[in-house]
Chains A and B, each alone.
Chain A
Amino acid sequence: SQELEQSPQSLIVQEGKNLTINCTSSKTLYGLYWYKQKYGEGLIFLMMLQKGGEEKSHEKITAKLDEKKQQSSLHITASQPSHAGIYLCGAPRAGGGADGLTFGKGTHLIIQP
């Protein structure tokens, strides 16, 4: 079964600084999803990557999928308090389509004023 390893587990960053979160898969990724979760709440979809080398941006968040499709990174530029939360990477369990997702343990992001 596919395992997703996220690093770091937690991150404390001063407001305005940049940061990067990584997600490494034990197998080739057919798709990689990034979600954000606030404590005790649901998952908010951020971005989905599919092709090797693909990069997507939304506001100050950029996600990349490496050429070999086994690692993804999420980069936040000029962090703000609204970026605080838990970032989760997820991938289809089997091969894609409408499969259930397997998730990493998450990266807890704290933004210090």
Chain B
Amino acid sequence: EPEVTQTPSHQVTQMGQEVILRCVPISNHLYFYWYRQILGQKVEFLVSFYNNEISEKSEIFDDQFSVERPDGSNFTLKIRSTKLEDSAMYFCASSDGTAAITDTQYFGPGTRLTVL
């Protein structure tokens, strides 16, 4: 069964460093998403991406974040200058975009980011 994959599973970085989190969405899906979950808190939406551009973003997704689809299979989240509060589990999701009202999003296993 097709699934969303994410690498690395765990990333440790120093405050102020740049990190890139990578995702391979399900191959025929058209919409891609990033979410984060700070330990013990809700899963929070960051950004959605369609047709090579951002279609929606939350207030969390500020200028330090960016997303890119560098090739036909990868979808990346870059954090330019990491802060301690960026420590969280980051989930990538994808959907096929065929539903007019509701579109099921399939999630990857997550990347645990630890900022020291």
A residues with CB within 8 A of B:
30-31, 33, 35, 40-45, 48, 50, 88, 90, 92-94, 96-106
Question: A101, B45: Cβ atoms under 8 Å?
Answer: yes
CB-nearest residue of chain A to B40:
A105
Residues of B within 8 A of A96 (CB): 100-102
Question: B42, A106: Cβ atoms under 8 Å?
Answer: yes
B31 on the interface (CB 8 Å rule)? yes
Question: B42, A100: Cβ atoms under 8 Å?
Answer: no
B91 on the interface (CB 8 Å rule)? yes
Q: Name B's interface SS.
A: strand
In the complex, 14 of the A-B residue pairs with CB atoms within 8 angstroms, ordered by the A residue number, are A42-B108, A45-B106, A93-B45, A96-B102, A97-B99, A98-B48, A99-B56, A100-B45, A100-B47, A100-B48, A100-B56, A101-B35, A103-B43, A106-B42
CB-nearest residue of chain A to B93:
A43
CA distance A97 to B33 in the complex (A): 13
CA distance A93 to B42 in the complex (A): 14
B107 on the interface (CB 8 Å rule)? yes
B residues with CB within 8 A of A:
4, 31, 33, 35, 41-48, 50, 55-56, 58, 89, 91, 93, 95, 97, 99-110, 112
Question: A43, B43: Cβ atoms under 8 Å?
Answer: yes
Question: B91, A43: Cβ atoms under 8 Å?
Answer: yes
Question: A31, B45: Cβ atoms under 8 Å?
Answer: no
CA distance A99 to B31 in the complex (A): 9
Residues of B within 8 A of A43 (CB): 43, 91, 93, 107
Residues of B within 8 A of A101 (CB): 35, 43, 45, 105
Picked from A30, A42, A102, the residue with its CB within 8 Å of the CB of B45 is A102
CA distance A50 to B101 in the complex (A): 8
CA distance A68 to B110 in the complex (A): 34
CA distance A96 to B56 in the complex (A): 12
CB-nearest residue of chain B to A95:
B101
Question: A98, B106: Cβ atoms under 8 Å?
Answer: no
CB-nearest residue of chain A to B101:
A96
User: Closest 9 interchain pairs by CB?
Assistant: A31-B102, A100-B45, A43-B107, A42-B109, A96-B101, A98-B31, A103-B43, A98-B103, A42-B107
